[in-house]
Each structure stands twice: as structure tokens, then as C-alpha cells.
């Protein structure tokens, strides 16, 4: 049983378990100590996860716009708590797990396993707007990356799958296909997710840029712990316990005035 508090609202939640993973999925592996990426890997990570990469990430708030409208997120501290819950227990953690499994499947050249985790990731989004958010960015990432950084893993995956591609699948598969080490790639991915949510909060509350960086710094240990858990989480143990954030995404669909697409 998990208690999540947002402003004065207390939501009691239980873990939602993912459906049983495909028998083709490999058991989760506990990673060994990872080395820092080399110059080429770091260069690609910085490019792919930059706010300038043309995936349209700035258009989405993952429901934070409704949370601000409802009064759940009103300042830097409430923004930090909201995003910390998403990273540790909500959609961002689920994305981290999908990223790990996509990376491993692409690195192993296992297109069947990559297709299975891609189907689960697309089905796991809890609302219409969240499906749009993750799949529109995922498709844009794949198209741009294949054009600028051709990748056999992505090419092979697209030959056996024509379904929607969630963002963590696209980025994880690209990193695995380019032999970028899993640990630093996952850390960079979670940083990018958190930074984009903070950017939305800075514009919506509004906050100063320095406050936004303080929130990002405070989330560092949260993201590190989430990454460690994600690398040891099998798909059949995946779950989310951030119901208020999921409700925010659903309520945003009918919000009267909006700046963001989700």
C-alpha cells in the first residue's frame, strides 16, 4: 500500500501489475559496474536527448498542466514532489524499465523480444493523451535517428513491426543498437524526462530558471535509485502507483484552456 500526497489530496494506491511477459523475454539481469560512455557515445546521447532534438518534447507536460490548474503543483517544492513520484513510482519509472528491456533486446539483435516490449509499452499508457505523447515522440525519434545515425537494430525492428513505438523503446533500441552502455544511457534518459517536466512546470507555475535547476538537482538521487531498480525489474513485475498523475493526464484531455498537448 502506497500513500501519495499532492497538495491536500491523499490518494491511496495499489500496484498495478503488468501482464505476464512473453516467454521470449529474458530474465532481468543485475548489471555489473558500468563504465562511462566513450566520446562517440556521449556525443550521441547529448544529441538525442537534447531539447533541440526534433521530437516535439516541449509540447507535452504529462498532465502537469492540469496539476497546476487544480492547485496540486504551485511552487518548486510541490513540483519536485510531483515529479519525484512520477520518476520513482509512476510513468517515468515504467518508461525506464521499458528502456532497459528495449536496450537489451536491440543489443542482442532480438527483434522478437523488442517487438514484444514495444507492444507492451504502447499499451501501458493510461490515457489517450499519454499514448499520443509517447508514440508521437517515439516515431519522430526513430525517423530522425535513422536519417542522421543509421542503425541496424532499428531497421531490423521496423521490418518485423509496424505498430506504434513508445519513446523509451525508440531511445533504448537506438542506444542498444549503437553499443552505448546501458547504465549511462538510462541515466541520461531519466534526466531528459525530468528536465522536460521541470521545463513545463517552470512555464506553467511559473518559476524562475534557477528554481528549476534546484528541482533538477534535488531529483538526482531519485533518478539514480529509479535507474538501479529499473535495471533489475522484469516485465512481469512492472507496475505504477502514481494514480494522481495518471488522473491528471486524463483530466487534461478536457481542460478548457491548454498550452500543452498532454
- 223-253, pLDDT tens digit by residue? 999 999 999 999 999 998 999 999 999 999 9
DSSP at 6 = E
Residues 6+ apart with CB under 8 A from 49: 171, 188, 189, 191, 192
* pLDDT tens, position by position, 37-91: 568 999 999 999 999 999 999 999 999 999 999 999 999 999 999 999 999 999 9
Note the pLDDT of residue 5.
38
Measured CA to CA, the distance from residue 45 to residue 262 in angstroms comes to 25
Average pLDDT, the chain: 87
Question: What is the predicted pLDDT for the residue at 38?
Answer: 63
Under DSSP, the state recorded for 7 is T
What pLDDT is recorded for position 4?
Answer: 37
Query: What pLDDT does residue 205 have?
Result: 97
93: β partners: none
| Mean pLDDT score, 112-129 | 94
**Cell numbers 531529483 correspond to what residue?**
219
Per the CB < 8 A criterion, the answer to whether 104 and 153 are in contact is no
Locate 222 and state its grid cell: 531519485
Q: Is 80 exceeded by the pLDDT of residue 23?
A: no
Instruction: Encode pLDDT of 162-212 as tens digits.
Output: 899 999 999 999 999 999 999 999 999 999 999 999 999 999 999 999 999
Peptide bond into 206 cis (omega under 30): yes
Q: Write down the pLDDT at residue 3.
A: 36
Please tell me what DSSP assigns to residue 237: G
Note the CATH architecture for domain 59-252: Orthogonal Bundle (1.10)
How many other C-beta atoms can be found within 10 angstroms of the C-beta atom of residue 34?
14
Domain boundary assignment for the chain: 59-252
The pLDDT value given to residue 17: 38
Amino acid at each position: 500500500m502506497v500513500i501519495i500526497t499532492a497538495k491536500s489530496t491523499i490518494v491511496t494506491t495499489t500496484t498495478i501489475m503488468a501482464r505476464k511477459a512473453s516467454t521470449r523475454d529474458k530474465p532481468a539481469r543485475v548489471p555489473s559496474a558500468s563504465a562511462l560512455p566513450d566520446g562517440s557515445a556521449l556525443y550521441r546521447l547529448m544529441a538525442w536527448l537534447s531539447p533541440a532534438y526534433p521530437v516535439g518534447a516541449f509540447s507535452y507536460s504529462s498532465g502537469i498542466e492540469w496539476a497546476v490548474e487544480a492547485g496540486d503543483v504551485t511552487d518548486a517544492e510541490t513540483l519536485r514532489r510531483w515529479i519525484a513520484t512520477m520518476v520513482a513510482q509512476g510513468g517515468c519509472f515504467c518508461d525506464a524499465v521499458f528502456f532497459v528491456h528495449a536496450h537489451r533486446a536491440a543489443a542482442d539483435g532480438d527483434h522478437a523480444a523488442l517487438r514484444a516490449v514495444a507492444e507492451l509499452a504502447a499499451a501501458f499508457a493510461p490515457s489517450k493523451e499519454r499514448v499520443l505523447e509517447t508514440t508521437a515522440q517515439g516515431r519522430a525519434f526513430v525517423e530522425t535517428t535513422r536519417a542522421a545515425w543509421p542503425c541496424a537494430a532499428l531497421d531490423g525492428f521496423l521490418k518485423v513491426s509496424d505498430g506504434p513505438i513508445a519513446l523509451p523503446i525508440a531511445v533504448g533500441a537506438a542506444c542498444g543498437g549503437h553499443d552505448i552502455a546501458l547504465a549511462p544511457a538510462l541515466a541520461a534518459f531519466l534526466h531528459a524526462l525530468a528536465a522536460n517536466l521541470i521545463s513545463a512546470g517552470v512555464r506553467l507555475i511559473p518559476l524562475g530558471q534557477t528554481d528549476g535547476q534546484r528541482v533538477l538537482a534535488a531529483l538526482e538521487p531519485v533518478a539514480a535509485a529509479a535507474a538501479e531498480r529499473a535495471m533489475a525489474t522484469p516485465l512481469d513485475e512492472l507496475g505504477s502507483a502514481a494514480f494522481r498523475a495518471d488522473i491528471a493526464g486524463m483530466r487534461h484531455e478536457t481542460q478548457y484552456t491548454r498550452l500543452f498537448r498532454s
